[in-house]
């Protein structure tokens, strides 16, 4: 199943810079691993914001929740999820 996921990251000022940098590095490593595995199909930055739009290709709601909640920056994210379905007029496969 495909999901469009919008993530907005808000790390509070109370988090030490070193800790925030470590979380960001861990997040990058996990995101790249999930992309190599084919589960995180697209990752697009929102210009001017600490946010992204991503497309995940996972078995279902439970797997998506498991992946998102395991992200190192998850505690600092506002996330919205939209399930996607193939459009009948689309000529490219999903």
Domains of the chain: 2-84 (3.30.70.1060)
66: tokens are 């498991």
As a whole-number percent, the residues of the chain with pLDDT over 90 amount to 97
Residues facing residue 53 across a β-bridge: 6, 44
Q: Which of 3, 4, 8 is nearest to 48 (CA)?
A: 8
DSSP states of 23-83 as a string?
Answer: HHHHHHHHHHHHHHTTSEEEEEEPTTSSEEEEEEE-SSHHHHHHHHHHSTTGGGEEEEEEE
Q: How confident is the model at residue 24 (pLDDT cuts 50, 70, 90)?
A: very high
pTM of the model: 0.94
């Amino acid at each position: 199943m495909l999901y469009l996921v919008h993530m907005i990251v808000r790390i509070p000022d109370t988090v030490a810079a070193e800790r925030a940098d470590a979380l960001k590095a861990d997040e990058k490593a996990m995101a790249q691993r999930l992309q190599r595995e084919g589960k995180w199909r697209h990752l697009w930055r929102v210009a001017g914001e600490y946010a992204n739009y991503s497309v995940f290709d996972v078995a279902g709601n439970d797997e998506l929740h498991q992946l998102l909640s395991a992200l190192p920056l998850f505690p600092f994210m506002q996330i919205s999820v939209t399930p996607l379905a193939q459009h009948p007029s689309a000529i490219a496969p999903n």
